A and B are shown apart, each in its own frame.
Chain A
Amino acid sequence: MIMTRGHKIFNVFNIILLGIIGLSMVLPLIHIIAQSLSNNAAINAGKVSLWPVGFTLGSYKLILQDPTIWIGFRNSVIITVFGTLINLFMTTTLAYPLSRPEYLFRKSILVMVLFTLIFSAPLIPNYLLVKQLGLLNTLWALMLPMAISAFNLFVMRSFFLNLPTELLDSARIDGCGEFRILWNIVLPLSKPAMATMGIMYAVGHWNRYAEAVFYIDHRNWIPLQVRLREIVFTDQMGQSDVSSELMLLLSPEGIKMAVIVVATIPILCVYPFLQKHFIQGMMVGSVKS
């Protein structure tokens, strides 16, 4: 293809523009990391932009000494691990029958699920249900009400629909029961789909905030995001036994930014996996709907 001058100018312009957009995604995060590693004087003097000035790990030390942050961290890890396991179990056990021709009520159940997607109950009835089930102020309230995402259910179902039926048939001829087929044949085949969905659910649990605000007010059971918001927006740091010299050295801004970094690290660790698997899953789902 012959490139005219107009093309070339456009190409250069386009590459620069996308570069700026890309940087605008990354630079704020770098700014925050830089602040979390800088000392009080440098931050207040406005010297910190993208590189730490007056390097100190004090903010991180302070955070690690705060018990409430550890509690939040623990709760977030629990709901991420167990919540995701519940999600995977519940989603596959419904998606699999919905992909089988022998399951007669496919259509009605699909309609039932679809309806909840376009019309959902307001907050208060949901809250009253959680309350009546005795789940208020327990971590269950952050796992059970969101056990299945209808969107993921459809993605999983279309994945199962694409499995070769011959495989299932031959297993059946060999005398495999349905439970064995699901466990020994379907699940091993759907590892990539499960991994994708698992990461997607896990990110959702790690980032869970609204439900925690609604259903949890006991300090022992709040997840990290709730604690994070308190620290960043209302300047509530716990009473930790930090020496006053360390306090003098640190700026509240630096501490806030350090908490943000701590809460972000797990996501950044799984991001490469997310990026790799997950876009395909997204596509399958979008084409289907």
Chain B
Amino acid sequence: MASKIQPSDRTVYDFSSQSQKWAFVRKHWPIYVISLPGIIYFLLFKYIPLFGSIIAFQNYNIFKGIKGSKWVGLENFQRMFAYTDFLQILKNTILIGIYDMCFAFPVPIILALLINEVRVMMYKRIVQTVVYMPHFLSWVIVGGVVVGVLSPSTGIVNHLLALFGVEPIYFLGENTYIRPILIGSGVWKDSGWGTIIYLAAIAGINPDLYEAAQIDGASRIRQVFSITIPSILPTIVILFLLQIGNFLDFGFERVFVFLNPLNNENGEIIDTFVYRAGLVDRQYSYTTAIGLFKSVVGLMLIMISNTFSKKMTGEGLY
């Protein structure tokens, strides 16, 4: 019965012929019309650029377009690896990604475990409200806050250092400090936000487990390590997988706001380089090749880590 309406999402209609199917679609035409703007959006703004990526294999000329431009095969990709600056940028991107994973990833987990242990509800709520807040500030504002706090002449950090007799440090003007600043500002902005999912996972743990553990005489610390952490492990694994997939995607904004000629060498990542070489210097094909390289590596990382984790833990993204 084609017109039977069932509540479930998994409703499957059985059509014996193609014409029956079209009759069904015609009968319910309004919802198909309603969906059109959204579908057009995805085709236009997501899929056309995806096909436009083939200019990575061309010597794209903006006046000739994709059809008129010359095909050059993998030349742009070869050029990429032959260029020493690119290798430095790739190194920066990978290092910043690794640092981010080592230092920023565990913070929300620890924070969620600590917040969960607070028994005073009022205090718990205040702490949560406060740690979520920086997430809603833009990277430019976060950058401005960092500049203000780290300023060599007027910032509070250098004032504190001065108490210990340390000479003022121009943090943003030195190559050595850019990576810690990038990671640290990320922790400041987003670690509180990251706790939401972990707190939800903790809230979903069966309270009977804790009760049983208490009867068996397990201390609070023991309960955390024997119940809470194992219970949220699947969540941790999934978020870790997502993180690996976004390994090269540190983000344009959060790096670009801090970059200046003095810290460029250690700070420039693929995204900022693509902007500079692509949009500013108009090397369209070359930077598309770099961008495509990044996307493909990201996709491969997701697939590899997913397979790996399914074997190890039985958990995966898909």
Using a CB–CB cutoff of 8 Å, the interface residues on chain A facing chain B are 1, 4, 6-7, 10-11, 14-15, 17-19, 21-22, 24-26, 28-29, 31-32, 35, 43-44, 46, 48-49, 89-91, 93-104, 106, 109, 112-113, 116, 118-129, 144-145, 147-148, 153, 161, 165-166, 169, 172, 177-179, 182, 203, 206-210, 213-214, 225-226, 228-229, 232-233, 251, 253, 256-257, 259-260, 263-264, 267, 271, 274-275, 279, 282-283, 286
Q: Chain A residue with minimal CB distance to B7?
A: A165
- Beyond A14-B114, A25-B130, 5 additional contacts (C-beta under 8 Å) are A10-B220, A18-B114, A123-B287, A123-B288, A128-B55
Write the B223-264 contact mask toward A (1 if CB under 8 angstroms, else 0): 000000000000000000000010000001100110010000
Q: Chain B residue with minimal CB distance to A26?
A: B130
CB neighbours of A15 from chain B (8 A): 118, 120, 123
Indicate whether A127 sits within 8 Å of B53 (C-beta atoms), given known contacts A148-B41, A233-B257, A260-B141: no
Q: In the A-B complex, list the 4 residue pairs whose CB atoms are closest, starting with the nearest.
A: A122-B291, A94-B38, A125-B52, A178-B30
Q: Which of B86-94, B97-105, B131-139, B175-183 contacts A (4 or more CB under 8 A)?
A: B131-139
CB neighbours of A271 from chain B (8 A): 133, 136
CB neighbours of A6 from chain B (8 A): 219-221
Measured CB to CB, the closest approach of chain B to A254, in angstroms, equals 9
Q: Which of B21-29, B77-85, B307-315 contacts A (4 or more CB under 8 A)?
A: B21-29
CB neighbours of B156 from chain A (8 A): 28, 31, 49
Partner of A32, one of B35, B50, B145: B145
Contact B52 A264 (CB under 8 A): no
Number of A-B pairs, beta carbon distance below 8 Å: 282
Q: Chain B residue with minimal CB distance to A124?
A: B288
Indicate whether A125 sits within 8 Å of B49 (C-beta atoms), given known contacts A22-B126, A118-B245, A161-B9: yes
27 A-B pairs, CB-CB below 8 angstroms? A4-B219, A6-B219, A10-B220, A25-B131, A28-B145, A32-B149, A43-B154, A90-B41, A91-B38, A93-B35, A94-B37, A102-B31, A112-B47, A116-B50, A119-B295, A120-B295, A121-B52, A122-B53, A124-B279, A126-B49, A128-B62, A128-B284, A214-B275, A263-B140, A275-B132, A283-B200, A286-B197
Using a CB–CB cutoff of 8 Å, the interface residues on chain B facing chain A are 5-9, 11, 13, 21, 24-25, 28, 30-32, 34-35, 37-39, 41-42, 44-50, 52-53, 55-56, 62, 111, 114-115, 117-120, 123, 126-127, 129-134, 136-141, 143-145, 147-149, 151, 153-154, 156, 159, 162, 188, 192, 196-197, 200, 214, 219-221, 245, 252-253, 256-257, 260, 271, 274-275, 278-279, 284, 287-288, 290-292, 294-295, 298-299, 302
Bound together, the chains give a CA A130 to CA B219 distance in angstroms of: 60
Contact A102 B42 (CB under 8 A): no
Measured CB to CB, the closest approach of chain B to A3, in angstroms, equals 9
Q: Chain B residue with minimal CB distance to A215?
A: B279
Contact A100 B41 (CB under 8 A): no
Partner of A25, one of B138, B140, B159, B192: B192
Bound together, the chains give a CA A147 to CA B42 distance in angstroms of: 9
Measured CB to CB, the closest approach of chain A to B290, in angstroms, equals 7
Contact A93 B34 (CB under 8 A): yes
Measured CB to CB, the closest approach of chain B to A248, in angstroms, equals 17
Q: Chain B residue with minimal CB distance to A99?
A: B9
Label chain B's interface by main secondary structure.
helix
Contact A116 B42 (CB under 8 A): yes
Bound together, the chains give a CA A52 to CA B70 distance in angstroms of: 63
CB neighbours of A99 from chain B (8 A): 9
Contact A118 B21 (CB under 8 A): no
Contact B284 A274 (CB under 8 A): no
Q: Chain A residue with minimal CB distance to B287?
A: A124
Contact A209 B140 (CB under 8 A): yes
Contact B32 A97 (CB under 8 A): yes
CB neighbours of B147 from chain A (8 A): 232-233, 256
Measured CB to CB, the closest approach of chain A to B34, in angstroms, equals 5
Contact B30 A148 (CB under 8 A): no
Bound together, the chains give a CA A200 to CA B32 distance in angstroms of: 27
CB neighbours of B55 from chain A (8 A): 124-125, 128
Indicate whether A103 sits within 8 Å of B260 (C-beta atoms), given known contacts A209-B138, A267-B136: no
Contact B134 A25 (CB under 8 A): yes
CB neighbours of A17 from chain B (8 A): 114
Contact A104 B21 (CB under 8 A): yes
Indicate whether A101 sits within 8 Å of B284 (C-beta atoms), given known contacts A206-B138, A209-B139, A214-B275: no
Partner of A279, one of B6, B11, B145, B196: B196
CB neighbours of A119 from chain B (8 A): 50, 295, 298-299
